[in-house]
Amino acid sequence: MQGIFFRRMEEKDIGRVADMERTLFSRPWSAQAFSEALRQDSLFVTAVDGEEAVGYCGMYCSYGEGEITNVAVAPRLQGRGIGRKMMEYLIGQARLEGMGRLILEARVSNVRAIRLYESLGFRNCGIRKDFYELPREDGMVMELWLG
């Protein structure tokens, strides 16, 4: 992870982020969706190696809560702790913003992600039946209280 740093997402990151999104997800966000998200009450973070975005995560912010929508690391760099460090950075930024609670969903089959989130303090607080498409699958709702 030497040389990788974390910062708030910038417009210049969107092309690379949208490319990663298409590679990693069956229902990817478009570049336009990321651009619009950055103009809303949101907090998106980019992992950067040199000048290249190699990971990203983000959330919408409302009434002291954050809903995490995206967490991704470039396939060639997965398994190196970048996702954990990026999430720790996002959580730290959420605390600085005064957030009291964060929530997210994960595919119930995504054991690797669920273990990561649990290790960061998130807890299962419910299941959303058929939340995901392509393939159809339940989503585990997880929350982290920051207060």
Helix, strand or coil, per DSSP, at residue 52: strand
Q: How confident is the model at residue 108 (pLDDT cuts 50, 70, 90)?
A: very high
Provide the CATH topology of domain 4-145.
Aminopeptidase (3.40.630)
pLDDT at 134: 83
At position 60, the amino acid (one-letter code) is: Y
pLDDT in tens, 43-93: 999 999 988 999 999 999 999 999 999 999 999 999 999 999 999 999 999
The verdict on whether 117 is a catalytic residue reads: yes
Backbone angles phi, psi at 84, to 5 degrees: -60, -50
pTM, full prediction: 0.92
How is the chain split into domains, by residue range? Answer: 4-145
pLDDT at 110: 93
- Which of 56, 89, 117, 132 is flagged as catalytic? 117
> Cα–Cα distance between 68 and 52 in angstroms, integer?
22
| pLDDT higher than 70, residue 1 | no
> Cα–Cα distance between 99 and 63 in angstroms, integer?
8
> Cα–Cα distance between 18 and 6 in angstroms, integer?
18
pLDDT in tens, 28-42: 999 999 999 999 999
| pLDDT higher than 90, residue 2 | no
The verdict on whether 63 is a catalytic residue reads: no
- Which of 56, 89, 105, 132 is flagged as catalytic? 105
